[in-house]
Amino acid sequence: MTEKEYRSAIEAILFAAGDPVDLKRLSETLELPDSAVETQLNTLIDEYAEMDRGITIIRLNNSYQMVSVKKYAPQVRKAMDLRRNIPLSQAAMEVLAVIAYNQPVTKSFVEQVRGVDCSGVIGSLTTKGLIEEKGRLELPGRPLLYGTTDHFLRCFSIRSLDELPPIPKDEDKGGRGQQLSIFENDGENKSDSAESSDDGTVTGTVEEIVAEAVEGTDTTT
């Protein structure tokens, strides 16, 4: 096969699959090294961009998926009679942030951080496909562990969790951990705007920190 034929084959596989396809699966199917498949994928992405196509290919961890371009999301919604997703509540954003930055975690851990019952919110996030069960903790009762999904990455327009904005450590809290410190504001109003420190680190409330990564959530698959 020529390089163009390899790209066409990749395009056909991703289109037919609809869901993300693992890079290893593509490599095995095309009988090419991972690096060679990645090269063809990057070429395809560049070709779509140069031709201002209505589709593109995104990476989600070690998988790739063909999606519509955010620019044409309004037209896609209108044609398919799709209603815009309801924004996540503050509670949902906070629970999602705790899980995203600390996964895999148990419901008890999330509730310890937030100080309130999170059963309903976790159930809602699971239904939306933003989090999923990641096994069980080897402790009495074997509580469920939760983590984010590829759908979470796609919705937040990031390729991996490494692209989430960093959460600064609060050294004044006695080193109790990054996640706990972002929920404690020493009496300040939690609605205060997030700010950037001199070294570029994002600070502020948890929903603002996560919102830093949520711009561009209109990508439609």
DSSP-derived letter for residue 193 is P
Q: Is the residue at 221 inside a domain? A: no
For the chain, the average pLDDT equals: 77
Q: Are residues 142 and 47 in the same domain?
A: no
Q: Is the residue at 121 inside a domain? A: yes
Sequence-distant (6+) residues with CB within 8 A of 92 are 121, 124, 125
Amino acid at 75: Q
Q: Is the residue at 29 inside a domain? A: yes
Q: Are residues 26 and 61 in the same domain?
A: yes
Q: Are residues 117 and 31 in the same domain?
A: no
Q: Is the residue at 51 inside a domain? A: yes
pLDDT for 107: 92
pLDDT for 84: 62
pLDDT (mean) for 103-126: 91
pLDDT for 127: 87
Most distant CA pair in the chain, distance: 65
Q: Is the residue at 58 inside a domain? A: yes
pLDDT in tens, 71-105: 888 888 888 776 666 678 888 989 999 999 999 99
Q: Are residues 98 and 53 in the same domain?
A: no
Q: Are residues 14 and 53 in the same domain?
A: yes
Q: How confident is the model at residue 138 (pLDDT cuts 50, 70, 90)?
A: confident
Q: Are residues 117 and 63 in the same domain?
A: no
Residue 50 lies in domain? 3-68
Q: Give the chain's domain count.
A: 2
User: Is residue 203 a contact partner of residue 197, using CB atoms and an 8 Å limit?
Assistant: yes
